[in-house]
Structure 1
């Protein structure tokens, strides 16, 4: 893997994660992450749209003038979102109903439009596809982390409603971690999503700060070693 590809992977998963760093697409992220399966369904849909829209925009960019590029990008994204929406309606109807308006709202997800404008319109199809894949995986990972945590804390379960995505055979996938006499509503309701997202962002900032501090120490150690060697 080349250095450029490594940068694309690292950007999507950590350095420039659309949910943690760019803080894009927070409306659906906070709204549907009350369960792990809802988060997974929206994550997969967003990832697919990111990959195919980035690829398509990269292929047609030379024929799109600057004056009309945004409307064209939105039209391309909307076309793929419509395809994903129809497929979900046909094959995962329960999940389609559960996610509701947030499936068509993928069209307005700033993370997708932002990658189309900032990356796909300036790079080749392979790099653009990889960028869409990594950004989609990074976004999905945060969806799953937040959705899983909220489901466990709010309901005491994990993978509840798996049959909505995988079919009737998946009804037995639900894991009962612990039982509540009454659901922990704070975790299930929107305030719990804001608190959980804030904690995840804070954790990332702490990790980044420690890594930066370690790099500074390593640089100082190297400089001291050089000075000692010269003396």
Structure 2
């Protein structure tokens, strides 16, 4: 189905909430569990993925009339892999500390189902502008999900928010660093893999409750939602 007529508002609503990569589609679980030990790590991974999503959507949309259906998937993979390599090298050059923390998970963006999925489901069927907006919306939704998970795990696990932001993302991000609970011994399990599953489960429950509340108030459709508040 061609989605050229989809509004910008609808695209952002889908990316941030209705079709959120993590909270609605349950995709990209590997980085969602592995790198969200802090808000800083989640933010960095999300922004890197967003950059790949936006540019890959634009490039695939631009060449969609030149690519046959038989070879589209290999071409998608080559385009995405090239962009991920550029992002990986850029992070290694300019944000080396963040690159060391994220490590292998930067390279694994290539096999992120969300990126290949948007290329197949949206970019290959729509124009460059709409595809760029879709990539940005989905990327921001993914970034939001990773950052929220990271902040919750970090707060419970260490009593801080955006720890080492200035070291990993650069000095300009130092304002994000907050020590919420002084002299806090922390809960180690929240920083370990089980903590990721617990936090994801809690956040999925919260999203489901909000969706049900919106539905009861007649906000289930985008048009109705514009006139409702949570």
The TM-score normalised by the length of structure 2 is 0.89
Answer whether contact 2:80 2:110 (CA < 8 A) is retained: yes
SS of equivalent residue, structure 2 residue 63: helix
Say which of 110, 113, 118 aligns to 1:107. 110
Q: CA deviation at 1:167?
A: 2.7
Structure 1: how far apart are the matches of 2:184 and 2:87?
38
**Change in 2 beyond 3 A, CA 1:32/1:65:** same
Partner residue of 1:45?
Answer: 48
Structure 2: how far apart are the matches of 1:66 and 1:178?
55
Partner residue of 1:88?
Answer: 91
Say which of 137, 141, 147 aligns to 2:144. 141
Partner residue of 1:205?
Answer: 208
Of the two, which has the highest radius of gyration? 1
**Change in 2 beyond 3 A, CA 1:87/1:177:** same
Say which of 72, 76, 80 aligns to 1:69. 72
Say which of 1, 4, 7 aligns to 2:7. 4
Say which of 154, 157, 168 aligns to 2:157. 154
Aligned length, in residue pairs: 215
**Change in 2 beyond 3 A, CA 1:181/1:79:** same
Structure 2: how far apart are the matches of 1:81 and 1:172?
29
Note the residue ranges of structure 1 that are not aligned, 5 or more in a row: 217-231
SS of equivalent residue, structure 2 residue 74: helix
Structure 2: how far apart are the matches of 1:196 and 1:165?
23
Say which of 55, 58, 61 aligns to 1:58. 61
Q: CA deviation at 1:165?
A: 3.1
**Change in 2 beyond 3 A, CA 1:118/1:176:** same
Structure 2: how far apart are the matches of 1:57 and 1:170?
33
Note the residue ranges of structure 2 that are not aligned, 5 or more in a row: 220-230
Partner residue of 1:222?
Answer: none
Which has a greater percent of helix? 1
SS of equivalent residue, structure 1 residue 215: coil
**Change in 2 beyond 3 A, CA 1:3/1:60:** closer
Q: CA deviation at 1:189?
A: 0.7
When the two chains are superposed, the root-mean-square deviation of aligned CA atoms in Å is 1.7
1:182-231 CA-partner distances (Å, limit 9, x unpaired)? 33112111111101011111111111111112229xxxxxxxxxxxxxxx
Structure 1: how far apart are the matches of 2:169 and 2:82?
25
Answer whether contact 2:159 2:184 (CA < 8 A) is retained: no
